[in-house]
Chain A
Amino acid sequence: MTKKKIWVIDDDAIYQIIITKIIQKTALFSAISSFRDGKEGIVALINTIENKELLPDIILLDINMPVMDGWEFMEEMGMLQSLKNENISVYIASSSIAIEDRNKSKKYPAILGYLSKPISLNDIELIASND
């Protein structure tokens, strides 16, 4: 089993530190990348495609972010044609418990799950094993 690449897109600096620690603990991922908002994520995706580097297998996406939020990120990602055949699993990781957000996430086929913060070790393991 090859280790997977995981990207975390979240504006909460503390969360980024915590989630990195947790992911490292699972030791299920080969690489962890962090981005402060959706815009940075999209730019990174485009760069990765252009540089023909390895795309992430899993993206943990926050909803409320400055510059570009989670939903906008999903729209932009959907417009990237070269990702059509790629299998990138997106998981929402939000502190929002609003049912609207949960429902909205179901509209995007690329979103495989909705995780409510706090994210536990088990959650990551489950995501990793899901593929």
Chain B
Amino acid sequence: MSSKNNRLKYFSWFLTKPRTTGFFAFLFLSTIVGYIGYQQYKIVEDDEQYAMRNKLQIIRQNIEQSLKNSYTTTLTLALTINDKGVPENFDSIGKKLLASNQTISAVQLVPKGVIRYTFPMKGNEAAMGLDILKSVYLQKEALKSIRNQKMYFAGPINLKQGGVGIVGRLPVFQNNKFWGFSAVIIKLEDLLKSSGAYGIDSAKYYFQFSKIDPASEKEVFYLPKENKFSNNYSAAISIPDGDWRIYLTSKHQNYLYAQIVIPAIFGLLLAGLFGFLITLMLKKPAELQLLVEQQAANLSDGEIKFKSIFDQAAVGIAYMDSFSGYFLEINEKYCKLLEYSEQELQNRTFQSVTHPDDLKEDLSNLEKLKQGTIREYSMEKRYLTKSGKIIWTNLTVSPLWNIDEKPSTHIAIVEDISLKKEAEQLLIKSKMSFKNLFDDSPMPLWEEDYSAVKNYLLELKLINESGKTVSSYFRNHPEVVKKCFSLVKIVNVNNQCLIQYAPKTKSELLNNVDLLFGEESIPSFSKHLEAICKGKRHLMMDAKIKKPTGEIRDIHFVYSVLRGYEDSLERVIISTEDITERKIAEKKIIDSQKRTESLINTIDGIVWESDIESFSFSFISKKVEQILGYTSEEWIASPTFWADHIHPEDRETTINYCILKTSQNLNHDFEYRMIAKNRSIVWLKDIVTIVFENDKACGLRGIMIDITKNKEAEKDLKYSFNMVTEQNKRLLNFSYIVSHNLRSHTSNIASIMSLIESSDSEQEKNEMLLLLKSVSNSLNETMLHLNDVINIRNNIGLVSESLNLNQYVETAQNALSEQISTHNVSILNEISNDVTVNYNPSYLESVLHNILSNSIRYRHPDRKPIITIKWLIEDKRKVLQISDNGIGIDLVKNADKIFGMYKTFSNNPESKGIGLFITKNQIDAMNGNITVESTPNIGTTFKIYIR
């Protein structure tokens, strides 16, 4: 079985592969043709060989015949030799022999190897006397012949007498003793002629004659070698008598091929044709097979498709019995729709699940179908599901019988359209509500047709024109605008329109568009037309409208093209909200705002409003530009503008104060500096009010007043006050000094006077008078001092000069040179030579003298006095510093006294308490200042500040 199967398999394999099979067939047939061709060739070749051999055989026989004749001849010739070894009648016998044998051209007798006799002599003289046995060329053959005692044919050789010939030599023995040779000479040409070799078809063959050279033992060919010859196509036969070979060679080597090539080609063509035919033959069924398979696949594919369509369809499909109405096959969707399982439905009829209201129509349709009046029907109908729910479906029924057949079954397709039904319901509802919305809208609504307007504008070629052109056109042609307005067709209006625009009925308004158009409407309607020309579908603007009563009202006009009418403008919705009252109110507000603003701007202070938390400003009056240089916009743009521009020194305290007061909900006012745009400092008084809304603090308002001038005045005032206070203090001090010093003297005088009065002795009186004199001197001195002081104070217009400081230090040193040397004082002057000061010369001299002498006076008794003079800059102020290592002053106690008049701090008799007092006054007069630092027992440093 299996082998059969295998065979079938191979067979079918060949069947299904026609090209391969065809090729194999071609190969097979070609092999057969080749074999036959070869066999044919062999036969022809054998025939040819045979024919050639035959021919050669005949030639050999002829040659051998000639040789035999020659043998006979030589024998005959030998018989002419008598017993004495001398030939008798040689010539006559020779003549006879030649005559009887045509091929022989001459006969010879060669006694003892020397050619002695020759017939015919004529032409052969050259060979006479030749000793064969001594000729190198002939010797070998001759000796062989003697040895064998046989006739031997030598040659072909070039004959002495000319030409090529064969010499047959028969050794002749007399009494068993070699006598010599009897010889014949045969011309090769004659030999071949007699052999019939020349009778061979020279067109077909070459003839060749060869001999093995006895000397070289090489084969020598004697006939002209026309062509090389191969063994295959030649035949050869040996002739032993002369060691010769004769050949016959086919002249046309390809002759044999030509014999078989044509049939072979023909055979191959036949094989090819046959292979091709097989291919064609086999191809046909293979194609048919393929077609069958495709059809089969298509069929099964279709079946699967339909099955899956049936099962997976998004619509319910059922296969129904048309008579009973039973479900035969139901798909999943159908089951799902009706909520029954497949088995349950197979036991039911469609009548049982159809809504009773739709059953009648369904049945009548089915009846028509059965009668053939219709070929299918579809209807919207309701089903009752298992749970009693009603579902809306679209049913399509198609019969499964042909027109001329009896009704049998049909297909019912149901589509769930419950959603669609719902949507339809909603749509109806929304349509209703839209209608109500339109009719009962509190805003006047108009449904209008602008197509005529658009067409008119098209005629005028204004559509899509540039805005400029259009607007100038309308300006110059108000009648066009009016015409356009009259072309507007009102389709419908709502109730509000009727109320606002007076006519009692809709039709009255619909037919009287002009009722609403007045001169006032032209600008706004022109604008509207421009928008239409630009192709705008929505437009909102404020416009004016004329009521039928002639009253002009402000309206907010909204124009909107309904979807689907964008090109034709056949349907547009327009609303005209009456905003007359609002406009009036707005105008009032704007007027009041303007008034407030102008009022605010007239206030000589910056009015502002800010957030209560962040202090970011929401309003700031224009005055800010005048006072601080910033524009309101600049200020508002940054939420931290205010804080950023407060003077850095005031910023923290100002903001903290504001935060504190605001958190306590307290109105407050405070002063701070701000940096103006031109970097100048502006003093502001900020009066802040907290704004309450519903008892809740919600913002800050205030006014910033420029108080820079007040502040400056205040500063000046403070300065003058300080100056006056200072002067007053000095004055008081001075009057005190005057009173104290004078009083001490006057009291002394008074005491002395009373003592004089009460004195008992003249001596005492004189004593007192002396005392009085010294008091008088003291008083005088005091008066001089006071005079000095007064002089300093009076010198308001002191002359200052640029002075070299070092020069003055030197002068002072010179003035004190005696004391300096006495007390061995070292003065270290560290001032560089180029320091100059602007000072009154005598004051500078006095100041330096007083301080230096002071330092010398209060030197420490235990150490060498050292005074250091320096020039430094302290906080941009020029300072002349003089330090000593003297006894020092207890500044804790004496700070306020040191520069006082008659204040001395030691009992040094030189202390008068006037030097530093005058020094201080002089420095003050130069607008400078003097300070002192001192530690008792260490030293004192004076610092003189020079302006």
Contacts and interface: CB of A to CB of B under 8 A. Distances in A.
B771 A18 contact: yes
B809 to A, nearest CB: 29
Contact of A96 (B740, B774, B893): B740
B693 to A, nearest CB: 61
A22 interface: yes
B736 to A, nearest CB: 7
B765 to A, nearest CB: 12
Interface of B: 736, 739-740, 743-744, 746-748, 750-752, 754-755, 758, 771, 774-775, 778, 893, 902-907, 911, 913
Interface in A1-20: 11-12, 14-15, 17-19
A66 B751 contact: no
30 contacts: A12-B744, A14-B748, A14-B771, A14-B774, A14-B775, A14-B778, A15-B744, A15-B748, A17-B771, A18-B748, A18-B751, A19-B751, A22-B751, A22-B755, A40-B907, A66-B905, A66-B906, A66-B911, A66-B913, A72-B893, A95-B743, A96-B740, A96-B743, A116-B747, A117-B747, A117-B751, A118-B754, A119-B751, A120-B751, A121-B758
Interface of A: 11-12, 14-15, 17-19, 21-22, 25, 36-37, 40, 64, 66-67, 72, 95-98, 116-121
Q: Specify the main secondary structure of chain A where it touches its partner.
A: loop
B779 to A, nearest CB: 10
B907 A97 contact: no
A118 B747 contact: yes
Contacts of A120: 751, 754
A66 B771 contact: no
Contacts of B905: 66-67
B672 to A, nearest CB: 41
A118 B893 contact: no
A95 B737 CA distance: 11
A117 B907 contact: no
B740 A66 contact: no
Given A117-B743, A120-B754, 10 more contacts: A18-B748, A18-B751, A37-B907, A66-B903, A66-B904, A66-B905, A67-B907, A72-B893, A95-B743, A118-B746
Contacts of A116: 747
Contacts of B746: 118
A37 B754 CA distance: 26
Q: Which among A12, A15, A118 has the greatest number of chain B C-beta atoms within 10 A?
A: A118
B769 to A, nearest CB: 13
A117 B750 CA distance: 9
The winner among B736, B746, B755, B902 for most chain A CB atoms within 10 A is B755
Contact of A64 (B740, B774, B907, B911): B740
Contacts of A15: 744, 747-748, 751
B740 A95 contact: yes
B758 A25 contact: yes
Contacts of A22: 751, 755
B736 A64 contact: no
A97 B743 contact: yes
A22 B911 CA distance: 28
A53 B8 CA distance: 168
A95 B907 contact: no
A22 B755 CA distance: 8
Nearest to A37: B907
B739 A118 contact: no
B751 A118 contact: yes
B259 to A, nearest CB: 172
B787 to A, nearest CB: 20
Contacts of B904: 66-67
A72 B893 CA distance: 9
Nearest to B739: A97
Given A66-B906, A66-B913, A21 B893 contact: no
A35 to B, nearest CB: 10
Nearest to B913: A66
List the 9 closest pairs (A to B, CB-CB), nearest first. A117-B747, A66-B904, A118-B747, A95-B744, A95-B743, A118-B751, A118-B750, A18-B751, A14-B748
B751 A12 contact: no
A36 B893 CA distance: 18
A18 B744 CA distance: 12
A32 to B, nearest CB: 15
B907 A18 contact: no
Nearest to A25: B758
B744 A117 contact: yes
Contacts of A95: 740, 743-744, 747
B902 A64 contact: yes
Contacts of B740: 64, 95-96
A98 B372 CA distance: 150
A75 to B, nearest CB: 10
B760 to A, nearest CB: 10
B761 to A, nearest CB: 12
B754 to A, nearest CB: 7
Contacts of A40: 907
A21 B759 CA distance: 10
Contacts of A67: 904-907
Contacts of A117: 743-744, 747-748, 751
Contacts of B893: 72
Nearest to A36: B907
A62 to B, nearest CB: 9
A12 B902 CA distance: 12
A12 B906 contact: no
Nearest to A93: B747
Contacts of A119: 747, 751
Contacts of B775: 14
B751 A98 contact: no
B578 to A, nearest CB: 90
Nearest to A62: B744
Contacts of B751: 15, 18-19, 22, 117-120
A53 B736 CA distance: 40
Contacts of B739: 97
Nearest to B904: A66
Nearest to A17: B771
Contact of A12 (B736, B748, B903): B748
Nearest to A19: B751
B584 to A, nearest CB: 80
Contacts of A118: 746-748, 750-751, 754
B607 to A, nearest CB: 54
A40 B754 CA distance: 29
B762 to A, nearest CB: 16
A66 B908 CA distance: 9
Contacts of B903: 66
